[in-house]
Amino acid sequence: MTGNSRAGVLAAVIYLAGSATAEAQVPDALFRAHLGAGEFAPAMALARNAPNAQQHDARLAQIAAAQSRAGAQRAALRSAAEIYDDRVRSQTLRQIAAEPLGGRGGGSQADFDSLIELITTTIAPTSWDEVGGPGSIAGFPTGVYVDPQGVLQPLMRDDHSGRLAALLASSFPAARPGELRRSSPLRMISLPRLEKHVQLRLAAGRRPSEAMRMLAGLQRIEYVFVYPQSGELVLAGPAGDWKIGKENRILGVDSGRPVLRLDDLVVVLRHMSGAPNAQFGCAITPTQGALARAKAFLEQSQKGSIDAGRRKTWLEQLRRQLGKQEIDVDGLDPRTRAARLIVEADYRMKLVGMGLEEGVPGVESYLDSIKVPRGQAPPPLGVLRWWFTLNYDAVLTCRERNAFAIRGQGVQVLSENERLAADGRRIHTGASEELNRQFARSFTRHFPALCDKYPVYAELRNIFDLALVAALIRREGLAEKVGWHMTCFGPDGRFPAELAEAPTKVETVINHRVINRVHIVAGVSGGVRVEPAPLVARENIEIDRYGTLSKKRPAAVAKDLPPGAWWWD
């Protein structure tokens, strides 16, 4: 080949390269022209046909911003919904939210806010606690409620007339036809998709839909599936229709089990994402001064006899010496539903243990289990300590670590006997006497039956499931594997968790029994400890060597899902 020929080839290559660059610049210039002229349809076509994902998202972000400035907020949200990268989409939605929207509802609000505001502004407006009056109002209470002073109160009397149940049923939306309300042995929820559509609703000034708040009726988390290529992180488990059931809780129509809640998911996910060994819990404990007063009162009482006629008065005097126990929540905002749930479950468990709330067959209260032979001394006054903690058999995974299974009951009760010093200090012994262990074991063994009778315990198990899954997501880097940045649900996200009055005190859980004309008094402390990190440590996750878990995991997310879908069966 001659030198001139080489030059001609080189010139041709340069010319072709230059033509390709020019052709690539034409759509970009054309896109800007359409956008500047407010011609959104052709601009959208050019964005959808962009040569790469980055340019696709950048163009859609520009279109959404321009549509928002033009007052076309719904169109802006539809454009933002097509953005692939959740970080770009989140930033775009923040820009859209900054634009004034006609008729926006002011963001997400709690279920009863509008009704409560209507009542308190029209019926005796000066009598409500918000303006210094004695009256208070809140949404449906469940098994307990918190008064304006932060004192936890039991609320467990049954309405045998049926009128309350009818009122509750009429206030909750009736079951609607459709796949969402059908029972499913394995419903799947994509967390990135769910977050995306929650964000879109919040940007439009709307709260998450009922289906979103109830996590599509999911009643337990049994599996976590990971799809890196399609960017899906999926929670899976049994699900079905829901209704208001016992104690005003949202329960599955067929199963009677509480459904998981979006609010709890976000609160727990945010906390567990914050540190590799994140934990949370609560404690209900008597004060040192109260215990010292009670100990002195009992020692004084033993110097004389207490006849049956004075027994009630004597017990009330003892209760006054003890006063109220303190409630402490650590790790979670005590105003969140998740925090209030663990406190309620702990409190209710202690009522069962002290014989103040009925258990189930096989669960005998501590006081009822005491047998004192004639002539022998009863157990000395001490503080029984009972607390809830995690109880999972295993976390399984496949060799590819793209599917995980959670096995086990989830919840157990542990026990300890504490001694009392003269000044009321509780001395941890690290040991538990047989009768104390017996109650803890029986409560754990009969936990499913207790969940059926008192759904608060099943709600506690849901919180434990969420904590374990959130810790698993962090430990295994599952969000990073699928390119999910938790821009709304994560620690820095803008999802507005619903808050209510935080309980700070509760009447001391104490009871007594007379055996052989001797008074036996027992008090209880304890709490809830949620520490999932050891369970999800890499060395503690078992490998499914038989391939059953890989077979359970669908090969891919369904391709025929509609644009707004975030769950499927």
| DSSP assignment string, 224-253 | EEEETTTTEEEEEEEE--EEE-GGG-EEET
Distances in whole angstroms, Cα of residue 412 to Cα of each of 237, 389, 393:
21, 6, 12
Highest mean pLDDT: which range of 124-138, 172-186, 207-221: 207-221
- The torsion angle over the Cα atoms of residues 112, 118, 121 and 127, rounded to 10 degrees, is -50
Position 312: which residue type?
K
Contacts 24+ apart (CB under 8 A), 367-371: 367/511, 367/512, 367/513, 367/520, 367/522, 368/513, 369/435, 369/438, 369/439, 370/435, 370/513, 370/515, 370/520, 371/515
**pLDDT for residue 107:** 38
**pLDDT for residue 248:** 85
Nearest Cα to Cα of residue 462 among 222, 212, 153, 144: 222
Instruction: Give the Cα-Cα-Cα angle 61, 67, 68 (nearest 5 degrees).
Output: 90
pTM of the model: 0.82
| 3-state SS class at 44 | helix
Over residues 467-475, mean pLDDT: 97
Highest mean pLDDT: which range of 22-31, 330-339, 351-360: 330-339
Structural tokens at position 433? 């006497």
- 313 versus 48: which is more confidently predicted? 48
Structural tokens at position 59? 């163009």
- 552 versus 145: which is more confidently predicted? 552
Confidence of residue 340 (pLDDT cuts 50, 70, 90): very high
- 118 versus 509: which is more confidently predicted? 509
Pairing of strands 184-190, 223-227: unpaired
Count of positions (residues) in the chain: 569
**pLDDT for residue 106:** 38
pLDDT over 60 (residue 263) = yes
Chain-centroid distance, C-alpha 281: 13
Over residues 436-456, mean pLDDT: 95
**pLDDT for residue 129:** 47
**pLDDT for residue 294:** 76
Confidence of residue 9 (pLDDT cuts 50, 70, 90): very low
**pLDDT for residue 176:** 42
Confidence of residue 343 (pLDDT cuts 50, 70, 90): very high
Confidence of residue 547 (pLDDT cuts 50, 70, 90): confident
Average pLDDT, the chain: 81
